[in-house]
Amino acid sequence: MIEFSELEKSLGINFKDKEILAQSFCHRSYLNENLDFKRGNNERLEFLGDAVLELIVSHNLFRNHPNKEEGILTSLRAALVNSKMLCKIAKELNFGDFLLLSKGEKKEKGKARQEILANTIEAFIGALYVDQGYDICKSFVEKHIMPKLEMILANEDFIDAKSKFQEIAQAKEKITPRYDLLEEWGPDHNKTFVVGAFLEDKLISKGNGKSKQEAEEAAAEKGLNLKKWT
């Protein structure tokens, strides 16, 4: 069993319930090989942490950016809490060293591992909320997540690929892109979606993701690259 005291020390957080901390790092695959694990997987904590994270980020943006309109605030929030950003933060905090995975899942790298890391950040925040309350969660988010906002604003990363693709397509070709679901597979808790980005009836690019929105974003990003609109 992984010892989490090193993580607590590095974060400056001492969990009262050590088991809920371990649960927040427990991928569903781990339970198949460790039947004596006292808690379930981290998916319920991920559900809670997602909501807590969104509230804290939303309140921070609302309070500190009074002149920004709703649409910009929504885009900034999305850029701060998307799976790519959360995975980056998880790596910075060395969360990967504490994941509870099956032997097979440990061998998986790339996008699958990135998704697990991003989900674990949300599950950790859920566990932190249950164990320590809102204010400690707020401190964690403001220390480790909100500082990324400066980089996002500087690079205009909050302007998502779909928005860019639509804006340029309308300006250059007088066409509004559409996105069609082409394929999906996998169980309900772990589906993969493939979406096509079309300009009128012409398929420009395909993208896949764990949600339709993520697949659409991937298709738009590929479309921008293929059209050399970046």
Query: Measured between alpha carbons, how far is 203 from 195 in angstroms, rounded to an integer?
Result: 10
What is the distance between the terminal CA atoms of the chain, rounded to a whole angstrom? Answer: 47
The 3-state DSSP class for residue 178 equals strand
Confidence at residue 2, expressed as pLDDT on a 0 to 100 scale:
79
Q: 124-133, 143-152, 154-163 — which one is most confidently predicted on average?
A: 124-133
Query: Measured between alpha carbons, how far is 169 from 187 in angstroms, rounded to an integer?
Result: 35
Confidence at residue 186, expressed as pLDDT on a 0 to 100 scale:
87
Q: State the average pLDDT over residues 140-155.
A: 91
pLDDT above 70: percentage of residues in the chain: 97
Domains annotated for the chain, with CATH where assigned, are: 5-155 (1.10.1520.10), 161-226 (3.30.160.20)
Query: Measured between alpha carbons, how far is 29 from 48 in angstroms, rounded to an integer?
Result: 20
Query: Measured between alpha carbons, how far is 219 from 196 in angstroms, rounded to an integer?
Result: 6
* Residue spans of beta strands (DSSP E) within 70-210: 178-185, 192-199, 202-209
Query: Measured between alpha carbons, how far is 13 from 30 in angstroms, rounded to an integer?
Result: 25
Q: State the average pLDDT over residues 204-220.
A: 90
Query: Measured between alpha carbons, how far is 123 from 43 in angstroms, rounded to an integer?
Result: 7
What are the catalytic residues?
A: 50, 122
- 88 closest CA partner among 2, 151, 164: 151
Query: Measured between alpha carbons, how far is 212 from 196 in angstroms, rounded to an integer?
Result: 11
Confidence at residue 88, expressed as pLDDT on a 0 to 100 scale:
94
Q: State the average pLDDT over residues 69-96.
A: 90
Q: Is the pLDDT of residue 1 over 70?
A: no
Confidence at residue 193, expressed as pLDDT on a 0 to 100 scale:
94
Q: Is the pLDDT of residue 154 over 90?
A: no
Confidence at residue 83, expressed as pLDDT on a 0 to 100 scale:
87
Average pLDDT, the chain: 91
Confidence at residue 143, expressed as pLDDT on a 0 to 100 scale:
97
Report the sign of the C-alpha dihedral through residues 28, 34, 40, 45, in that order. Answer: negative
Q: Is the pLDDT of residue 43 over 80?
A: yes
- Contact indicator for 176, 169 with CB cutoff of 8 Å: yes
Q: Which residues pair with 209 in a beta bridge?
A: 193
Q: State the average pLDDT over residues 149-159.
A: 80
Confidence at residue 103, expressed as pLDDT on a 0 to 100 scale:
87
Question: What is the DSSP track for 29-79?
Answer: HHHHH-TT-SS--SHHHHHHHHHHHHHHHHHHHHHH-TTS-HHHHHHHHHH
Q: Is the pLDDT of residue 158 over 90?
A: no
Poorest-pLDDT segment among 96-110, 138-152, 169-183: 96-110
Q: Is the pLDDT of residue 34 over 90?
A: no
97 exposed, middle or buried (CB, 10 Å; 0-12, 13-18, 19+)?
A: exposed
Question: What is the DSSP track for 19-30?
Answer: HHHHHHTB-HHH
